[in-house]
Amino acid sequence: MKQIQLNNGISIPQLGYGVFQIDDLEQCEQGVRDALQTGYRLIDTAACYGNEVAVGHAITKSDVPREDIFISSKVWIQDTGYEKTMASFQKTLDNLQTDYLDLYLIHMPYGDYYGSWRAMEELYQSGKIRAIGVCNFLPDRLTDLIQSFDVVPAVNQIELHPFSQRRDLRNLMNKYRITSMAWAPFAEGQNHLFTHPILKKIGDQYDKTPAQVTLRWLRQNDIVAIPKSVHLERIHQNFSVDDFKLSDSDMTKINELDTGHPLILDVATYKEAYRLHHITFVQ
Ligand code: NAP
């Protein structure tokens, strides 16, 4: 599996397995187990997904050593602030049955994320977290965080797929060597991604599906991707993107699919965030 070096020198697998919206804990545990058996070594969860315990079970029961697995989790809005983030982090460790995290992220750019970042810097310096980062930070808040603290985020996890390519944000992130981590790499199926005629035509040249073409496009842009599926066949399919390479002309055609705006979550509108996570925003 291709690795990407973060701005603090540690490596992250370029392709991982996401567990958002796998609310059935047995199904989540099975999904992580299938992913690990397939070869995935990056698992992305979050406190607000309610399934960290299932992820922890799958990891502790697996034959893969803990140090070979890159685990990322996130602190949710209600737990922003120094004290609450410290407590939420410990709960995440307990849920996952581990004594360190590979990557810990601020989930949303809302609430007291300054306090959270202070806590995360401390946890990072003490070795409890190997890298810290953010999600859904747009240029203004990202710049503010970078200017106000010592540690530059290693990662910004953002909605990123062929229909929302975030070029301006990625250009800014490149300046600080902040790695892009694509959530909803398939746009959760919106815009008919899985049957999209252009992605399908490109894929037909290589006997690959639109999903695989999308993941390969992310790979060739050095973007970490964390597709989610509860189906074994798709978990395998999504992992099978090493054996072909998109041509420059294919890459250009996919670049032209950008709509210039996100399809799933506009972080400027709080209401979308509530709807997405079924959790009330508490001040
Ligand atoms: P996604 O990965 O773009 O899409 C998941 C959907 O695609 C599921 O409905 C899945 O169905 C289907 N699917 C997967 N592989 C497929 C294939 N090969 N062919 C056809 N359908 C396929 O969306 P996501 O789950 O929202 O995003 C991925 C991960 O990003 C999440 O799991 C989570 O870890 C992370 N995330 C982070 C944030 C954030 O704010 N930081 C927000 C959202 C998500 P089945 O499961 O039925 O196969």
Check: CB of residue 170 under 8 Å from CB of residue 180: yes
- pLDDT of the residue at 275: 55
Residue 97 CA, ligand 1 centroid: distance in Å: 25
| Segment 18-52, tens digit of pLDDT | 999 999 999 999 999 999 999 999 999 999 999 99
Closest CA to 277 of 56, 50, 123: 50
Residue 119 has pLDDT above 90, yes or no: yes
Q: How many helices (H) and strands (E) does the chain have?
A: 11, 10
* Count of residues making up the chain: 283
The CATH label, of 3.40.30.10, 3.90.25.10, 3.20.20.100, 3.30.1180.10, for the domain at 3-277 is 3.20.20.100
Closest CA to 283 of 40, 274, 37, 135: 274
CB-based pocket (< 6 A), ligand 1: 18-21, 44, 107, 135-136, 157, 183-189, 194, 211, 226-231, 234, 237-238
- pLDDT of the residue at 280: 47
Structure tokens at 209: 């599906």
Residue 282 has pLDDT above 90, yes or no: no
Q: Could you report how far apart the first and last alpha carbons of the chain are, in Å? A: 41
The letter for the amino acid at 130 is: R
The dihedral over CA atoms of 233, 238, 243, 248, expressed in degrees to the nearest 10, equals 140
Catalytic residue chosen out of the listed positions 17, 49, 110, 113: 49
- The closest-lying atom of ligand 1 relative to the alpha carbon of residue 105 is 41
Residue 281 CA, ligand 1 centroid: distance in Å: 23
CA atoms of 41 and 250, how far apart (whole Å): 28
Beta carbons within 8 Å of 273's beta carbon, 6+ residues apart? 77, 108, 110, 265, 267, 281
Nearest CA to ligand 1 atom 35: 183
Q: Is 49 in the active site?
A: yes
Provide the 8-state DSSP code for 224: E
| Segment 224-249, tens digit of pLDDT | 999 999 999 999 999 999 999 999 99
Residue 75 has pLDDT above 60, yes or no: yes
Radius of gyration of the chain (CA): 18
Helices (H), 62-196: 82-96, 113-125, 139-148, 167-175
- The closest-lying atom of ligand 1 relative to the alpha carbon of residue 189 is 7
